[in-house]
Structure 1
């Protein structure tokens, strides 16, 4: 999450102690828990964001304010989606369901003419709504075994169509995050199926099936999940390369931001199990 809690919009008044201020304070608290405190776990961050999400619904932020002629339209929109995206990010990292189902949400995004920061934020929210939420429904539901692998590949194709050019920004962290959204999403979608492909290889080795032919997880003839291996490997490679460049630029900041270490560790875990001397694979 690139924290956007302190951002204020031109139309905002100076009213104090509003529900929006309380929600913003909880968001800042969650950001502190995740990036600046060694005394709080990821559960503390998730709990703070979950409370903020409940207060959002209590304040009606999940409904689009323009349709109800409410004031502070852009502020309410931006605040709701920042809370929603934060809840999804932490929920999927912990394997927990989201607080607010999208079927109850009709809030629009804040206007992008507010600047490049809002444009990048809206891109983050779109990936959250159109990529991470479907992934959670597909992989973290109570009955994931009823899903077919074809649905995974169809979702992959849908997610790839979300990719758009990232606008220039003076914030290096924000730009890095926006450029790695697609890779982070694809790695999240395919990593469990990559693990299944590796298990297929272990089973073949245990049964001594055609020992003269080494198991190749990229070969669709040897595992039905070869497409996921290719996608996860390529995403992990891109994340690792970009993260290395960012750490060289600002190692102190890179060590504090949780999503960098989370996705970096995930990429590192999913790169070694497959052959490193292969050319960059393409999704079939």
Structure 2
């Protein structure tokens, strides 16, 4: 049949077949009333219908005693790789995670309930996505990633300030966008942070971008270790003409034991546009490709 959805009149061969096969009586009085030429047409029509069943399915509307033809629903698409979870399920879980963290200003405005909801949504995605194997999928790390959520921001352990009243510091710092730039060939792992430094009135705030350069290495199938190298600050906005400068590194003997210049985290979910990580301190981070 050339059309995807048609209504067949009662006198058509397919409708006759339906009336015969759906009758409660299987005897032949009605069958014998069909002329020989109608039987031939009926057989031909049934053969054509059987050949098209691979692509179409019959949907019966018994009240109207009609048969309509509709496309057979496609099976759920699969994620790349053999035996992967359905792509539509992954997309739904990713949407749930994004919904849980939306409006939280990357976690700066999150309360305890927000943290629990974000963690639960991330665990759902991690569970369905399965274990990450960076020995196979290292190329998926390549690129510039934008941080859209960090559970640590709620406690202000990584800098920044919540929206609302000033913190009272002489030079308040407002956290802007945060990125990670990863190069799998050079093993560069740069944390790029946009900051706005408050200045005494009437001076405008100073906008800068700080790049914390690291080198990374795999220490497991899904675990990464980063080693700090240097911090470079570049003014932006009205002072963008100024050259970048490097902040001197604190000598090892004067550095607090908690600040070793290195860190570890596990990549718990990874695809072409979304990455979820768990830090060694339990920090949950969500990134999207930028």
Common topology (TM > 0.5): no
Query: By percentage of residues, which structure has more strand?
Result: 2
Query: By percentage of residues, which structure has more helix?
Result: 1
TM-score, normalised via structure 1 length:
0.28
Larger Rg: 2
TM-score, normalised via structure 2 length:
0.28
